[in-house]
Each structure stands twice: as C-alpha cells, then as structure tokens.
C-alpha cells in the first residue's frame, strides 16, 4: 500500500494541473471502489474550481470552491495518471482509457486525470472541507511527521510506557500519521534500534532521536518519487526510485550496509507483516 512519500508524490504531480482550474467533465465508470462512491458525485465535482490540494496521512484532499473536498485513497494498487495538454511539459496526447480506469476528470486547460485501480481497494469520498478532521478516515490520525506538531516530546508522550514493540507502535496511525511498513523498517535501521524492542524499554533520548530520522527518510523518499515495488507510479507514469536505496526493507540475507557492522539483514514476522532489520547493529 502506498505510504506517505508515494501519496505526497502523487499530490505534487496533481497540483500543477488541478489547483486553480475547473473540472469541466467527470466520468464515473463504475458505482464503487472499496466502498460505493458518494451520491451525485459527478454533479458535485463537475464545473467546480479546485482551490488547493492537500495531503493528510495517506489521503489526498482536493478542496473545491463548493466548500466540499474530494478525498482520495489510493489503496493497494491505485494510480492517478495525468495526460493531455499539461502546461510546461511535452505531454499532449490523451491516453486511451483502460479497463481499470474508474474515474476520469477533465480540467479546463486540457489535462485529464484518471484514477486507475486494478484491485479496487482504493476509495473516493466527498466531505465538508471545514469539518474534514471529523471524517471517519481522518478523525483518529496522529500528527503529520513532517509537520510542526511532531517533535521529540510528542513522540515520547505517545510511546513512553507502551509495552508493544516499537515497530508496531510506529505503524499505529494514532501515534504518527502516514508511516507504513517500508519506512518504519528504514527508520529503525538508520536509528540502530531493534524493531523488536518494547517501547517501555527504550530510553527517552532514543525515542526523541527518532524524529529527525523519520523526517529525513520521508524527505529523501519524496525527493526520489517514492518507492515502486509493484504498483506505485508517479502521475506521469514514471516509477519512483527510493527502493534502490533501501538499507533494510526487502534485503533479507544481504550484508548490512551500516559501516563496520558485518551483520546480515534478517526477516521476521510481526503482526503478519515482514520486518527487515540487522540483529547485529539494531539493539
């Protein structure tokens, strides 16, 4: 499933062709994805100007002049691909629609945005912009890891005294929003902290020191266009390439890249998910 960097990469790709423009035509090509589309979705989008695009955790929010926002969740395999007359690029041809193209938005300057989702675990909804944090998918999310409200004392307060492994705690979206399996593995490897360690057995200073590592990993991944392991594509169809710099995730049996370590990356299962770490340098 796309994590924060992949979703932010998609948001940034959509912003130049959507922000400030009207949606001149909308085509809804099926009644649902993971859940049914909202009532009168086409009428509530068509002819409206997009004010801005935001991201909250793993969700894209498209704010409309009507006071509503289109919430987009990419799910497991969702993609948003831009084609057409895109200002400042050489991409002019509209791509032919495919079997799994479920929602099509045509913008006033000629760009077309297509939501493609082969596995249909994605979702779209419309919500009141002013009350977006009350939406069931957003209501219990923790702070944004790249935002000003996320700092050492905040993370310490969220983790201190918890008996769960630190990896599980960081995957909890109530602790911090947007982190997933890939980036938690990468963060913990860089921090030299075992994913198996219980939160209540980690020194406060080590917990607080995770914050700049989380920020660095996410910022590097966004700059690389995210990680493309199976389905993720940028809005122009290109792959992300952060996966080429993984230090731990997916590297079972390979030498640990930490200088002077000499260990090898191990894979274990935690709560049904694969965890990759180095037992020699992650303590």
Q: What are phi and psi of 174, to 5 degrees?
A: -75, -20
Judge contact between 9 and 225, C-beta under 8 A. yes
Active-site annotation holds for 6: no
Strand (E) positions, 34-167?
Answer: 50-56, 59-64, 68-73, 78-84, 101-107, 111-117, 123-128
* Eight-class DSSP state of 213: H
CB within 8 Å of 25: residues ≥ 6 apart: 46, 104, 105, 106
Please pick, among 11, 55, 56, 58, the residue that the annotation labels catalytic: 58
Is 273 an annotated catalytic residue?
yes
Say if residue 96 is exposed, middle or buried (CB neighbours under 10 Å; 0-12, 13-18, 19+).
exposed
- Residue pair 139/177 in contact (Cβ under 8 Å)? The answer is no
Report which of 8, 282, 244 is spatially closest to residue 144, judged by C-alpha positions.
8
Compute CA distances 60 → 25, 99, 200, 211, whole Å.
Answer: 20, 23, 34, 23
- Asked if 12 is an active-site residue, the reply is no
Catalytic residue among 12, 198, 273, 279: 273
Number of Cβ atoms within 10 Å of the Cβ of 122: 25
Tokens of 42: 């086409």
Q: Are 69 and 63 in contact (CB under 8 A)?
A: yes
Among 20, 231, 4, residue whose Cα is nearest residue 115: 231
Catalytic residue numbers read 2-3, 58, 273
């Amino acid at each position: 499933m796309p994590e924060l960097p992949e979703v932010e990469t998609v948001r940034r790709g959509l912003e130049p062709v959507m922000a400030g423009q009207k949606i001149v035509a909308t085509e809804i090509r099926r009644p649902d994805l993971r859940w049914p589309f909202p009532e009168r979705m086409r009428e509530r989008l068509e002819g409206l100007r997009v004010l801005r695009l935001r991201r909250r955790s793993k969700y894209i929010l498209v704010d409309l002049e009507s006071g509503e926002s289109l919430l987009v969740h990419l799910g497991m395999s969702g993609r948003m691909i831009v084609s057409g007359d895109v200002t400042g690029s050489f991409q002019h041809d509209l791509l032919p629609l495919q079997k799994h193209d479920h929602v099509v938005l045509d913008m006033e300057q000629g760009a077309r945005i297509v939501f493609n989702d082969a596995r249909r675990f994605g979702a779209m909804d419309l919500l009141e912009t002013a009350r977006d944090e009350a939406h069931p998918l957003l209501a219990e999310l923790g702070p944004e890891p790249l935002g000003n409200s996320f700092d050492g004392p905040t993370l310490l307060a969220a983790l201190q005294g918890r008996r769960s492994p630190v990896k599980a705690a960081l995957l909890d979206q109530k602790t911090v929003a947007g982190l997933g399996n890939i980036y938690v593995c990468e963060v913990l490897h860089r921090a030299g902290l075992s994913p198996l360690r219980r939160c209540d057995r980690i020194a406060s200073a080590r917990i607080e020191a995770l914050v700049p590592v989380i920020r660095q990993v996410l910022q590097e991944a966004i700059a690389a266009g995210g990680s493309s392991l199976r389905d993720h594509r940028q809005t122009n169809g290109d792959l992300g390439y952060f996966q080429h710099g993984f230090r731990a995730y997916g590297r079972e049996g390979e030498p640990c890249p930490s200088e002077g370590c000499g260990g090898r990356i191990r894979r274990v299962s935690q709560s049904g998910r694969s965890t990759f770490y180095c037992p020699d340098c992650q303590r």
